[in-house]
Chains A and B, each alone.
Chain A
Amino acid sequence: MKEPAHSFGWWRGPMFIGLLGGASVIFFSGLAPAGLTVATGLVALGSLSRHRPPPAQPVTEEESPRPSEPAQGAESEALRTLCLHTLPIWCRHLESARAHTETAVAQLTYRFAALVERLDRTVTALRQTSENPEIVGTFERSNVSLQALIESLRATQQGRTTMLQEVRTLTCHNDELKRMAVEVMKVAEQTNLLALNAAIEAARAGDAGRGFAVVADEVRKLSTMSRQTADGMTIKVNAVNAAIAQTFHAAEQAAAEDDEVLGRSDASVHGVLAGFTHIIDELRQSAEATQAEAFGIRREIEDMLVALQFQDRTSQILAQVCGNLSEMEAMITSPESSDPAHAAELDSSAWLARMEQSYAMLEQRLNHIGARDHPFDEQEQITYF
């Protein structure tokens, strides 16, 4: 009897299962141990019936004697029983592999997500520290206060310099006083000389000049007193001059010391402020560098997470294969399947078409038709409606 085109006979069914399952599992799961185990089993099962050539042409009993019907029935039953036991096992293996991958990838993504969150928190904290308005405000206030202090010291020094100028002017006045004392002394000496001449002339006049002699004597006494006063003035002026000179010297020395202290303070304040500015700049630069680095690491992690999306695809492919195996199992366990006459009517084309309908991804459809070297990227990632 001629077999219908694209039909299952139980002598062909296992080969179809083996080839289909083996190829699918190897292709989808790569070289994963579980995938290889399942694939090897599937192919082995398929090979059980490969020694039997398909009866493509009708043959007569004289040309090629077929095995007896009871023997063929026993072999089909054995293969059916084998499928019945192995299909659920393979399905469980596939599900186990899928679950392991999903759990592992989920844990990985959780960890990556935690890393990204920690990274974000660190960058935020760093940014808040480097851009903290309180730090910048404190620095600005310190700068203003210290500059005001320097200005105050400078103003004090300026006041002292003005005072020294006044003292210097006082010295000039003293010198004038000294010259005036000398002039007084000269006047006293001249007066004394005049009194002496008057006394001589009075003595020469005799009795008539006696009264004049008394006047001359008094004038001489006055000139002596004037000279003594002038001497006293000179001494006092000299003493005042010496005191002023000493004070001036001390003030000048103090001013020089203040000047030096002021210079040192100014330098220190500028040094401290420059140090603060440098620290703040360093902190800001360091924060910026760390942020850039953190951004790079974040991008790397994002790329890795993108790569981990394969798990979703793998999971769907394995689930689909598992579904097919379950359908196969259901078909085998159906009461009709034990009837060779009914089994012969099973349509492989319809089966393959149903498989193709169940695919979600372009990748699965390409695998179905055997296009191996296809790109995994879908043609168009985003469609807007």
Chain B
Amino acid sequence: MAKTILIVDDSVSLRQVVSIALKGAGYDTIEACDGVDALSKLNGEKIHLIISDVNMPNMDGITFLKELRKNPSYKFMPVIMLTTESQESKKSEGQAAGAKAWVVKPFQPQQMISAVGKLVLP
């Protein structure tokens, strides 16, 4: 059975790009437009990995990650931050919040698939 990846980004086109790349590699995808939307979509869905933007309206990626970790069910959920942010301070912030990888946009689909393959839950 295909594994499901939750894609969180306020840019529709970015979500589409990630979704196409992952579907081509055999994953199922669910999309959310910000942290709040993502938290609501986590309920009742079997998710194997999350890819999240950092700068988003309503709830940014780092806050979303912190909220996610408060829930024991998602304590070990692998999260890849996909963002235009490349500052080391931001990366450290993401790492401290529990991100497993930091991908700087624009990304190459093969690199993203490789990162997902390494981190996705069994």
User: Residue B24 contacts which of A116, A361, A379 (CB distance < 8 angstroms)?
Assistant: A116
Are the C-beta atoms of B11 and A384 separated by less than 8 Å? Answer: no
Are the C-beta atoms of A109 and B95 separated by less than 8 Å? Answer: no
Q: Which residues of A contact B104 (CB under 8 A)?
A: 378, 380-382
Count class of interface residues, chain B: 35 or more
Are the C-beta atoms of A383 and B12 separated by less than 8 Å? Answer: no
Are the C-beta atoms of B86 and A306 separated by less than 8 Å? Answer: no
* Residue among B14, B23, B100, B115 with max Cβ neighbours from chain A (10 Å): B14
Q: What are the interface flags for A286-318 relative to B under an 8 Å C-beta threshold, 1 for contact and 0 otherwise?
A: 000000000000100110011011111101100
Are the C-beta atoms of A113 and B84 separated by less than 8 Å? Answer: no
Are the C-beta atoms of A382 and B16 separated by less than 8 Å? Answer: no
How far apart are the CA atoms of A110 and B85 in the complex, in Å? Answer: 25
Are the C-beta atoms of A113 and B14 separated by less than 8 Å? Answer: no
Per the 8 Å Cβ criterion, residues 71-119 of B in contact with A are 83-87, 90-91, 94-95, 99-109, 111, 115, 118
How far apart are the CA atoms of A145 and B12 in the complex, in Å? Answer: 58
Per the 8 Å Cβ criterion, residues 9-48 of B in contact with A are 11-14, 16-17, 19-21, 23-24
A360 proximal to B (CB < 8 A): yes
User: Residue B20 contacts which of A113, A312, A381 (CB distance < 8 angstroms)?
Assistant: A113
Q: Which residues of B contact A360 (CB under 8 A)?
A: 54-55, 83-87, 90
Are the C-beta atoms of B106 and A306 separated by less than 8 Å? Answer: yes
Are the C-beta atoms of A309 and B17 separated by less than 8 Å? Answer: yes
Closest to B85 in A: A360
How far apart are the CA atoms of A362 and B106 in the complex, in Å? Answer: 12
Count class of interface residues, chain A: 20 to 34
Closest to B98 in A: A385
Closest to B94 in A: A385
Q: What are the interface flags for A95-131 relative to B under an 8 Å C-beta threshold, 1 for contact and 0 otherwise?
A: 0000000100110111011001000100000000000
What is the distance, in angstroms, from B42's C-beta to the closest C-beta of chain A? 21
Q: Which residues of B contact A311 (CB under 8 A)?
A: 11, 13
How far apart are the CA atoms of A102 and B14 in the complex, in Å? Answer: 10
* Residue among A113, A116, A308, A312 with max Cβ neighbours from chain B (10 Å): A312
Q: Which residues of B contact A380 (CB under 8 A)?
A: 86, 104
Closest to A115 in B: B20
How far apart are the CA atoms of A312 and B9 in the complex, in Å? Answer: 10
Closest to B9 in A: A312
User: Residue B101 contacts which of A106, A112, A362, A382 (CB distance < 8 angstroms)?
Assistant: A382
Q: Which residues of B contact A312 (CB under 8 A)?
A: 11, 13-14, 84, 105-106
User: Residue A315 contacts which of B11, B16, B103, B118 (CB distance < 8 angstroms)?
Assistant: B11
Q: Which residues of B contact A383 (CB under 8 A)?
A: 91, 101-102
How far apart are the CA atoms of A106 and B31 in the complex, in Å? Answer: 14
* 19 pairs of residues in contact across A and B, judged by CB atoms under 8 Å: A105-B13, A106-B16, A298-B24, A302-B21, A305-B17, A305-B20, A306-B107, A316-B55, A360-B86, A360-B90, A361-B86, A378-B104, A380-B104, A382-B102, A382-B104, A382-B115, A384-B118, A385-B99, A385-B100
Identify the A interface with B (CB < 8 A). Answer: 102, 105-106, 108-110, 112-113, 116, 120, 298, 301-302, 305-306, 308-313, 315-316, 360-362, 378-385
